[in-house]
Structure 1
């Protein structure tokens, strides 16, 4: 099992932070920082640990933000400078204390993102100082450091996981589009992946905009841009968006017969459901197919809500048949609570449901 993220913010990290901040210049009370930052730390979850270290920084760094930022910049310098998880509370500190002096704060975030990430810390500045931030990000999109270029995309994602939702950009992502145009062919895969995820965020609220983006940028795309556009299309493809499927050559309805078998017909939470799907073509030409499946989970009030899971991509020859198999786990996950009752699985081919079957889930 992977190490919980919260364990990376421990007393040893607090002591390393104190040592680096003290070495950055006179006047830092390292003992007070360690005492406040580490008090009861082991009992706290990740966010609470971050906020406690941020509070310790507020109590021990200079009240003048520029002076505090100077110390933080110095503490980040060098191969042994502050880096990685130590910088999450630093970013929180900058986001809290730097809003009144955004130019100085953004300069520190540029350094910080090269050693960890400033994608969360920059979001309050986008809300409070959009003109300044977008002017800065336009410059950062040409920065020699890939981490800074990535921040121009990742920090402005409307629905960034774990991050403050940028409701104005959810409603209208237009301010971000010039940045994405400049970055979608970036030499760094790290940057391009962020652009793909950003476009996929936009697709959840403005599907037609992303369909138009792919339509514009797909012709003549090289392998790297092609991979970016595919990743950016994933939500709309899973939803069966007809326009997006057509752009990727999967716009035609399936011509043939589909039979879905589920086994067992009754299972308990924690067990595994087996799917067996047979597709038989009745077409006279090959068919390019995107095959996904939707599980309709029973909710507490008895309603069923669907979640799409990726299945298969294939080309089915004229008159041919194929059997596809998948094992679907019903083990508990943190993002979904299971309830007993009749669940349903639908098969979606090129965006249209072609087969379905039900199974009973017991607790």
Structure 2
């Protein structure tokens, strides 16, 4: 069986498909509040479930178009004490923030939209700001996963978008590894955009979710890299698996907008990367983060030859402003690396 190559794929999503595609990824199709299992040693997790349920009730109580969050504040409609139109889940990676965000989305009647931060910025770029606001302003809820402000343009764009949507009565729920008033810190001249960042932060009630990364509780370290021969045999033995040279894939990712990475890996059962090594620069590293997120969303296993997946980002990168993004990517990719079919056969000692 010949493995397919991600480098041969050039996905394109038309503008009219973008709104319809704003739903939780397949991994979170079935999650609900009652499937979230709070860590008994972390009381903030149970409290977060209650806060998210209360917020979802406020959103569900919205009546008519426009001003919904204000009417729910004045007319009862929920127990969220702040009365703010936004809920912001802050915490480390692997504590279930995306699970809770998707649970809010599932608990709210349509119309509703769910997307990652990069998908939403791409949506605005593809549709134009006015059209994006028009199409989203009739929604009850906009859920934003992986909220980060990586450059000044994104800061201005998301401040305007959230301001326009909340004024129209749209509730906004978001997840991030960074408090809203600290967004952009360490990445660009955030002080120059402090007013915009503070304006954005004022829209959200912050709910903290603490705890260890559930993906690695009591689990072994990532598997050793395969040899090139083992990697090729694994890819050939799994239907719809892909096999790419790591450097070639990194070059190809530069030609595909990160919002299309989900489409890039659609239908792929397992990803195999030959000759993995540390990302050569920040641009490549951030593309790999986005790819890792989409693979995790779709539960696509990952196998590599070369260096360990934990070596994907340099020590300098892990000390920089994107540290949390890189650690999240490592966490997710290591979890996926345990799921390659037949991996246990390669690790079974012989003789």
TM-score (norm 2): 0.25
- Higher RCO (C-alpha 8 Å, min separation 6): 2
Rg comparison, structure with higher value: 1
Return the structure number with greater strand share: 1
